[in-house]
Structure 1
Amino acid sequence: MSIRHHLSDPLLMAYAAGNLPEAFSLVVATHVSMCDSCRAQLAAFEAVGGAVLEGTVLEGAVLEGDAVAMADGALESLLARLSVPDTAKPLAKRGDFPAPLLDYIGGGLAEVKWRSLGMGVRQAILPTAKGATARLLYIPAGQAVPDHGHRGTELTLVLRGAFRDAADRFGPGDVEVANEDLQHTPVAEAGEACICLAATDAPLRFSALIPRLLQPLFRI
């Protein structure tokens, strides 16, 4: 799998610190299970957190009032702790979806409870805590999602197939991070339906009237 679009360091650090809404955490965990590069980067950030949790003072540091004086070799000691092996293993994939998704779906593709959004596009909202919403999206080959902007952040991870928009092409494992600056019309590539995992922390901003009228019904 050739992944070109990765998660940003701030998102990985927020995930490692447990500061993301559950819906965003699900997207991050699923992408990390598919991406060697982000999995290694996340391991490094988690190692940083582990080193900090071992004590607020580094090994060999000496307290001087409110300041901390670092003893010789303390920095090297910390860096040695943070070395991450290249053999960080991906989470298992069973059936149609990566492991982090399985508990939210309750099985494979056949068990997804799709709801039609029109024009062959379907969604399945996944059970997550408040703060953001996670959903699976099914976009038929060659079909477009209505043009829209964003009132907050949207993470879209491609699980199968691919889509293109004004920003780039996104294939399996790629994640698009959209914010209020991006207005786009994602179109699934010909030949295969595109299935994505998406998370949003605010309603989308559709350009056309009909999608805007249907937003409360479809919770998008």
Structure 2
Amino acid sequence: MDIKHHLSDELLSGYAAGTLAEGWSIAVATHLALCPACRSRFKQFEQIGGQLLDAVEPQKLEASTWDSFKDRLQKTPQSREPSAPRFEIKQPAVIPEPLRSYVDGDLPDLKWKSLGRGAYQVPIETGDSETQVRLLRIPAGKPVPEHGHGGRELTLVLSGSFHDGTGLFARGDIEEADADLVHQPIASPDGDCICLAVTDAPLKFQSWLMRLVQPLIGI
């Protein structure tokens, strides 16, 4: 497996700090399970974070300062959003952990839902209200409708490959798209392409027909 498309420093540092939402964390951790190069970079971010914590000198709080701090905590609304999870990185499989636990199995166990034109999805439930997470299966040689993005999109290839004008993405490769990218991924002709896709906003389809059915397919 020759992975050519890797995680950005922003995503790795956010994952190391535990600040990513659950959906992004699933994509990052699953890529790390497949990519030795990014695992090595991730360890460096963890080491940097540990060194920064060690360099912080604890400050002695006066009684009045502590009382003020407790008072602020009591008055601050507590968020009900779940904290971003941290995942143990395990040996890669067709669907590696942590994603395998989210879908309760491997490819033969999945219950695909039709999107039309031979494409399928498996929506993945999380405790995260910020992102939407799904598996996508695109038929060999077929395109995804051309679209832009209302926010960020992470696409991690688990099986097969696709190309979209920015490059070829195969197993383990991850593509990070934003509002500046309009593309039309096309699955390679040698087999279906199965991807993990995480978004934080609806896609912006160029076709009026796709915009019409978009509420029905939930993408």
Range into which the TM-score falls when normalised by the shorter chain: 0.7 to 0.9
- In the TM superposition, residue 214 of structure 1 has moved relative to its aligned partner by 1.9
> 2: CA distance between counterparts of 1:54 and 1:103?
34
What corresponds to 1:53 in structure 2? Answer: 53
Q: Which residue identity does 1:26 align to in structure 2?
A: I
Q: Which residue identity does 1:22 align to in structure 2?
A: E
> 1: CA distance between counterparts of 2:171 and 2:156?
8
Any conservation in 2 of the 1:36–1:90 contact (CA below 8 Å)? Answer: no
- In the TM superposition, residue 52 of structure 1 has moved relative to its aligned partner by 2.8
Any conservation in 1 of the 2:29–2:89 contact (CA below 8 Å)? Answer: no
> 1: CA distance between counterparts of 2:6 and 2:132?
21
> 2: CA distance between counterparts of 1:104 and 1:29?
12
Any conservation in 2 of the 1:30–1:98 contact (CA below 8 Å)? Answer: yes
Q: Which residue identity does 1:110 align to in structure 2?
A: P
SS at match of 1:39: helix
> 1: CA distance between counterparts of 2:150 and 2:143?
20
> 1: CA distance between counterparts of 2:186 and 2:121?
15
What corresponds to 1:27 in structure 2? Answer: 27
Unpaired segments of 5 or more residues in structure 1? 59-88
Aligned ranges for residues 99-138 of structure 1 at < 5 Å?
99-128=97-126, 129-138=128-137
Does 2:148 match 1:149?
yes
What corresponds to 1:67 in structure 2? Answer: none
What corresponds to 2:37 in structure 1? Answer: 37
Query: What TM-score does the superposition give when structure 2 sets the normalisation length?
Result: 0.82
> 1: CA distance between counterparts of 2:55 and 2:218?
44
- In the TM superposition, residue 188 of structure 1 has moved relative to its aligned partner by 0.2
CA deviation map 1:142-173 (0-9, x unaligned) = 01100000010000000110001021111111
Q: Which residue identity does 1:212 align to in structure 2?
A: R
Percent identity, aligned pairs only, is: 48
Query: What TM-score does the superposition give when structure 1 sets the normalisation length?
Result: 0.82
Count residues with an aligned counterpart. Answer: 189
- In the TM superposition, residue 55 of structure 1 has moved relative to its aligned partner by 5.2
Q: Which residue identity does 1:160 align to in structure 2?
A: S
> 2: CA distance between counterparts of 1:12 and 1:106?
26
